[in-house]
């Protein structure tokens, strides 16, 4: 208690030097919490956007379907399982048929995924209602990325070529009825969405699908309506499975985050370490005096270590003074992201709303406090080798 | 109070390594100091005055021989025991005052009592008494940077006497002071010696200080050259 009292007396007495350290350490506190909040928000937003746009409450996959193997698509279709029909009718599930196709925008050759979706579905956030449009040709939806890479715009017509169930080539014109904006690249890049019934018809695959996406509600309602078994040839993929790539990406990005976190922490700790080293250098005579007055070396080491540690406590208070309103404001209004952020392979919206959990704030505070104390202790250990007589002469032994 | 021996040294040597050679700072020092003495260790620079003072103050230890202070053999004290001896029984006054710069005058004087765990009420009384003694009660809230050299040294004296130590060690206490302040400081210390029976040991080569001594031990090249009783021939400057 005495050491704590003396430590606070010393660091408050040090005036500007203390406040410079406290303010710079508080910047580290606030920046670390801000960046971690951004990472949490990016992860959360990416996961949520992908669920909303693509995965719903889980998917049934036709057994041959492998999203990473385009060749699997030839056989990845079969009749929608009877057990799922009631869900589809109740708009609790939506089937999607996926085929490979070739398009010729502006005379160039492009391989795309031709995806059939029910225009009336409300399971995923694809604006499929635009597919009701009467254009005389097959109506098609594309995302903004696809539009940009192909030069296609709303109202453009283009030729699509595909193979039907027997492997026979066929071709038709489609009209782009809408270009939709999405943060989820998996429903945008190299994809053309057309009405499910029309895709089933032109490929001669009536009532067939490649995947059936469940709505989120059956899962949130417990066992709900999801059948425990379905026809052979279909497999249920839950969100843990479907999101594993995102989780893997998040883990990779967390490594980057940790590096940034470590750099910030390192810079802050360098300031503390520097202060401690300078303190011991400048206050040698004071150390000698403290020993002459009856403090043991251990007491003096404790005092200097605590002085360093007190910086973290004061920085947490100062950081809270301006950090809480600042971070609170950013969490409520969000942060606009530059359009370049779209290309990082992550489903991020135009604004990101940082998430600051109590665990993040408490964890950061505790971590920074512990590291600060350790960093303060390291140079203070030199005092153990200091002879009081040398210290009184202002000499380091 | 009957006279009693507070400090004895026997065949005390202090040897420092100096590059590849060894420097004998103290050579066969034998002395004893009794309660209430006003002693000066006198000699030129490098004669071993400060080294002897540091050993008596348990800030250093002898290489050979023994030093016994208040019944404690300095050589056998642990760091903690030496710190306790300094905190409870020995006061220090330094040439450069060594006040803690971020503390006020009151806090500087209070410091040894904080280490002793004296309660707040008693601490306040003892500190103010000590400051009254040195005539600085009205500067209690000043910072050391706001004090003159003489005032700073008086604060250092107050800090040294606040715990009522048996021994007070002063290393060149007037070296940074002008003549008027030096006499003022010495008179204050003589008064303390008289009223509190505190034993004073000075390391000095300042004639102004020497004039006040009741016993003068002259050191030359680490050896005691003379040990004189000054009471018979002392003339205190006015």
- From chain B, pick out residues whose CB is under 8 angstroms from the CB of A292: 57, 59, 86, 92, 94, 98
Write phi, then psi, for A215 (nearest 5 degrees). -75, 165
Q: Residue A211: is its pLDDT beyond 90? A: yes
Query: Is residue B217 a contact partner of residue B31, using CB atoms and an 8 Å limit?
Result: yes
* Torsion angle defined by CA atoms of residues B162, B164, B166 and B167, in that order, rounded to the nearest 10 degrees: 10
Tell me what pLDDT residue A340 has.
54
Mutate to test the interface with B, among A292, A383, A386 (most CBs of B within 10 A): A292
User: Does the beta carbon of A8 lie under 8 angstroms from any beta carbon of chain B?
Assistant: no
What residues contact residue B77 under an 8 Å CB cut-off, 6+ apart?
Answer: B58, B61, B85
A:B CB pairs within 8 Å: 68
* Torsion angle defined by CA atoms of residues A33, A36, A37 and A43, in that order, rounded to the nearest 10 degrees: -170
Q: Residue A222: is its pLDDT beyond 50? A: no
CB contact under 8 A, A293 and B94: no
Dump pLDDT digits (tens) for A37-65.
888 888 888 888 889 988 988 999 999 99
User: Does the beta carbon of A359 lie under 8 angstroms from any beta carbon of chain B?
Assistant: no
- Which of B60, B84, B100 is facing A294, going by the closest CB pair? B84
CA-closest candidate to residue A265, choices A12, A39, A35, A18: A35
Task: Please give, one letter per residue, the 3-state secondary structure of chain A.
Answer: CHHHHHHHHHHHHCCHHHHHHHHHHHHHHHHHHHHHHHHHHHHHHHHHHHHHHHHCCCEEEECCCCCCCHHHHHCCCEECCHHHHHHHHCCCEEEEEEEEEEECHHHCCEEEEEEEECCCCCCCCCCHHHHHCCCCCEEEEEEHHHHHHHCCCCCCEEEEEEECCCCCEEEEEEEEEEEECCCCHHHCCCEEEEEHHHHHHHCCCCCEECEEEECHHHHHCCCCCCCCCCCCCEEEECHHHHCHHHHHHHHHHHHHHHHHHHHHHHHHHHHHHHHHHHHHHHCHHHHHHHHHCCCCHHHHHHHHHHHHHHHHHHHHHHHHHHHHHHHHHHHHHCEECCHHHHHHCCCCCCEECCCCCHHHHHHHHHHHHHHHHHHHHHHHHHHHHCCHHHHHCCCCC
CA A43 to chain centre: 2
Q: Which CATH architecture has domain B36-63+87-229?
A: 3-Layer(aba) Sandwich (3.40)
Query: Nearest residue on chain A to B98, judged by CA atoms?
Result: A289
User: Does the beta carbon of A295 lie under 8 angstroms from any beta carbon of chain B?
Assistant: yes
Q: Residue A245: is its pLDDT beyond 90? A: no
In this structure, are strands A93-103 and A157-163 parallel, antiparallel, or unpaired?
Answer: antiparallel
Percent above pLDDT 70 for chain A: 93
CB contact under 8 A, A392 and B159: no
CB contact under 8 A, A389 and B111: no
Determine the distance in angstroms separating the CA of B238 from the nearest CA of chain A, rounded to an integer. Answer: 33
B217: β partners: B41, B227
Determine the distance in angstroms separating the CA of A286 from the nearest CA of chain B, rounded to an integer. Answer: 7
- From chain A, pick out residues whose CB is under 8 angstroms from the CB of B52: none
CA-closest candidate to residue B51, choices B207, B59, A397, B76: B59
Query: Is residue B201 a contact partner of residue B56, using CB atoms and an 8 Å limit?
Result: yes
Mutate to test the interface with A, among B115, B143, B159 (most CBs of A within 10 A): B115
Tell me what pLDDT residue A221 has.
44
Q: Residue A35: is its pLDDT beyond 90? A: no
CB contact under 8 A, A388 and B59: yes
Q: Residue A337: is its pLDDT beyond 80? A: no
Interface of B with A (CB under 8 A): 54, 57, 59-60, 79-80, 83-84, 86-88, 92, 94, 96, 98, 100-103, 107, 111-112, 114-117, 159
Determine the distance in angstroms separating the CA of A302 from the nearest CA of chain B, rounded to an integer. Answer: 14
The rounded distance, in Å, linking the Cα atoms of B103 and A223 is 70
A94: β partners: A213
Give SS3 for B25.
Answer: strand
Element (H, E) at B71: none
| Residues of chain B predicted below pLDDT 70 | 1-3, 233-238
Tell me what pLDDT residue B182 has.
85
Tell me what pLDDT residue B142 has.
94
Determine the distance in angstroms separating the CA of A267 from the nearest CA of chain B, rounded to an integer. Answer: 27
Structure tokens at B107: 């806090």
The rounded distance, in Å, linking the Cα atoms of A163 and A204 is 10
Q: Read off the pLDDT band of A16 (50, 70, 90).
A: confident
Q: The dihedral of CA B140, B145, B147, B152: what is its sign?
A: positive
Angle between helices B79-89 and B105-116 (to 10 degrees): 120
- Which of B59, B83, B98 is facing A295, going by the closest CB pair? B83
User: Does the beta carbon of A389 lie under 8 angstroms from any beta carbon of chain B?
Assistant: yes
B93: β partners: B170
- Which of A285, A289, A293 is facing B115, going by the closest CB pair? A293
The rounded distance, in Å, linking the Cα atoms of A138 and A118 is 14
- Mean pLDDT along residues A314-342: 85
Q: Residue A397: is its pLDDT beyond 80? A: no
CA-closest candidate to residue B174, choices B88, B95, B60: B95
Least confident of A44-48, A212-216, A270-274, A325-329: A270-274
For chain A, the structural domain boundaries read 2-51+246-392, 59-237
The rounded distance, in Å, linking the Cα atoms of B128 and B178 is 26
- From chain B, pick out residues whose CB is under 8 angstroms from the CB of A390: none
Q: The dihedral of CA A129, A134, A138, A139: what is its sign?
A: negative
Determine the distance in angstroms separating the CA of A9 from the nearest CA of chain B, rounded to an integer. Answer: 8
CB contact under 8 A, A296 and B100: no
| DSSP tag of B106 | H
- From chain A, pick out residues whose CB is under 8 angstroms from the CB of B80: 296, 298
The rounded distance, in Å, linking the Cα atoms of A78 and A87 is 17
Tell me what pLDDT residue B127 has.
96
ipTM: 0.89
The rounded distance, in Å, linking the Cα atoms of B218 and A307 is 44
Element (H, E) at B204: strand B199-204
Give SS3 for B92.
Answer: strand
Dump pLDDT digits (tens) for A371-389.
888 888 888 887 777 888 8
CB contact under 8 A, A291 and B112: no
Structure tokens at A206: 């009536």
Query: Is residue A215 a contact partner of residue A177, using CB atoms and an 8 Å limit?
Result: no
Structure tokens at B106: 């009151």
Tell me what pLDDT residue A102 has.
93
Q: How far is CA B205 from CA A309, A326, B165, B174, B235, in A?
A: 44, 64, 24, 10, 17
The rounded distance, in Å, linking the Cα atoms of B178 and B183 is 9
Q: Tell me whether residue B97 is exposed, middle or buried, using C-beta atoms within 10 angstroms of its C-beta: 0 to 12, 13 to 18, 19 or more.
A: buried
Tell me what pLDDT residue A220 has.
40
Give SS3 for B218.
Answer: strand
Query: Nearest residue on chain B to A292, judged by CA atoms?
Result: B86
CA-closest candidate to residue A231, choices A78, A347, A4: A78
The rounded distance, in Å, linking the Cα atoms of A308 and A234 is 62
User: Does the beta carbon of A293 lie under 8 angstroms from any beta carbon of chain B?
Assistant: yes
Most confident range (mean pLDDT) of A214-218, A288-292, A309-313 is A288-292
Question: How many residues are listed for chain A in this entry?
Answer: 397
What residues contact residue A20 under an 8 Å CB cut-off, 6+ apart?
Answer: none
Q: Which residue has the higher pLDDT, B176 or A103?
A: A103
Q: Which residue has the higher pLDDT, A161 or B232?
A: A161
Query: Is residue A348 a contact partner of residue A337, using CB atoms and an 8 Å limit?
Result: yes
Structure tokens at B123: 């601490």
In this structure, are strands A335-336 and A351-352 parallel, antiparallel, or unpaired?
Answer: antiparallel
Determine the distance in angstroms separating the CA of B11 from the nearest CA of chain A, rounded to an integer. Answer: 22
For chain B, the structural domain boundaries read 36-63+87-229
- From chain A, pick out residues whose CB is under 8 angstroms from the CB of B117: 2
Q: Read off the pLDDT band of A21 (50, 70, 90).
A: confident
- Which of A2, A296, A388 is facing B114, going by the closest CB pair? A2
Q: Is the pTM above the cut of 0.80?
A: no
What residues contact residue A278 under an 8 Å CB cut-off, 6+ apart?
Answer: none
- Which of B60, B83, B100 is facing A296, going by the closest CB pair? B83
Give SS3 for B195.
Answer: helix
Tell me what pLDDT residue B11 has.
95
Q: Residue A341: is its pLDDT beyond 60? A: no
User: Does the beta carbon of A7 lie under 8 angstroms from any beta carbon of chain B?
Assistant: no
């Amino acid at each position: 208690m005495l050491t704590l009292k003396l430590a606070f007396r010393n660091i408050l007495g040090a005036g500007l030097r203390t406040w410079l350290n406290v303010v710079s350490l508080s910047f580290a506190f606030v920046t670390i919490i801000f960046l971690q909040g951004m990472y949490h928000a990016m992860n959360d937003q990416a996961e949520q956007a992908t669920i909303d746009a693509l995965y719903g409450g889980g998917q049934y996959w036709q057994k041959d379907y492998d999203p990473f193997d385009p060749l699997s698509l030839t056989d990845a279709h079969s009749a929608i399982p009877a057990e799922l029909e009631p869900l589809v009718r109740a708009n609790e599930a939506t089937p999607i048929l996926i085929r490979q196709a070739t398009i010729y925008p502006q005379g160039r050759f492009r391989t795309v995924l031709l995806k059939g979706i029910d225009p009336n579905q409300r399971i995923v956030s694809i604006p499929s209602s635009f597919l009701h449009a009467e254009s005389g040709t097959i109506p098609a939806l594309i995302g903004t990325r696809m539009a940009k890479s192909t030069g296609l715009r709303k109202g453009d017509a283009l030729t699509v070529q595909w193979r039907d169930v027997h492997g026979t080539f066929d071709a038709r014109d489609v009209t782009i009825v809408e270009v939709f904006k999405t943060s989820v690249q998996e429903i945008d890049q190299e994809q053309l969405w057309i009405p499910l019934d029309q895709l089933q018809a032109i490929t001669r695959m009536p009532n067939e699908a490649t995947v059936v996406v469940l709505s989120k509600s059956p899962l949130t309602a417990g066992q709900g309506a999801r059948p425990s078994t379905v026809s052979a040839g279909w497999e249920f993929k839950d969100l843990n499975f479907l999101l594993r790539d995102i989780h893997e990406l998040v883990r990779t990005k967390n490594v980057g985050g940790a590096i940034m976190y470590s750099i910030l922490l390192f810079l802050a700790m360098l300031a503390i370490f520097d202060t401690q080293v300078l303190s011991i250098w400048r206050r040698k005579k004071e150390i000698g005096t403290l020993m002459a007055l009856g403090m043991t070396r251990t007491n003096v080491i404790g005092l200097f270590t605590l002085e360093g540690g007190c910086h973290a406590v004061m920085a947490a208070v100062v950081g809270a003074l301006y950090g809480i309103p600042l971070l609170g404001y950013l969490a409520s209004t969000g942060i606009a992201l530059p359009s370049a952020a779209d290309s990082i392979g992550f489903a991020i919206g135009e604004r990101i709303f940082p998430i600051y959990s109590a665990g993040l704030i408490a964890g950061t505070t505790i971590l920074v406090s512990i590291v600060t104390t350790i960093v303060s202790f390291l140079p203070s250990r030199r005092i153990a080798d200091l002879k009081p007589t040398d210290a009184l002469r202002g000499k380091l032994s | 109070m009957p006279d009693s021996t507070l400090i004895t040294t026997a065949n005390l040597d202090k040897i420092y390594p100096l590059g590849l050679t060894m420097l004998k700072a103290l050579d066969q020092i034998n002395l004893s100091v009794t309660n209430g003495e006003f002693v000066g260790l006198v000699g030129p620079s490098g004669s071993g005055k400060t080294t002897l003072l540091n050993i008596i103050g348990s800030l250093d230890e002898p290489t050979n021989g023994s030093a016994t202070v208040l019944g404690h053999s300095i050589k056998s004290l642990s760091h903690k025991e030496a710190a306790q001896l300094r905190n409870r029984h020995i006061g220090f006054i330094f040439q450069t005052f060594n006040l803690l710069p971020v503390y006020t005058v009151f806090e500087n004087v209070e410091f040894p009592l904080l280490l002793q765990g004296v309660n707040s009420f008693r601490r306040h009384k003892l500190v103010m008494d000590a400051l009254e003694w040195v005539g600085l009660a009205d500067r209690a809230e000043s910072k050391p940077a706001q004090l003159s050299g003489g005032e700073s040294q008086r604060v250092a004296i107050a800090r040294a006497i606040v715990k009522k130590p048996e021994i007070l060690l002063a290393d060149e206490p007037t070296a940074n002071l002008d003549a008027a302040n030096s006499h003022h400081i010495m008179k204050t210390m003589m008064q303390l010696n008289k009223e509190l029976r505190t034993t004073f040991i000075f390391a000095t080569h300042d004639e102004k200080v020497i004039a006040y001594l009741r016993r003068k031990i002259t050191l030359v090249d680490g050896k005691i050259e003379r040990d004189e009783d000054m009471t018979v021939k002392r003339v205190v400057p006015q």
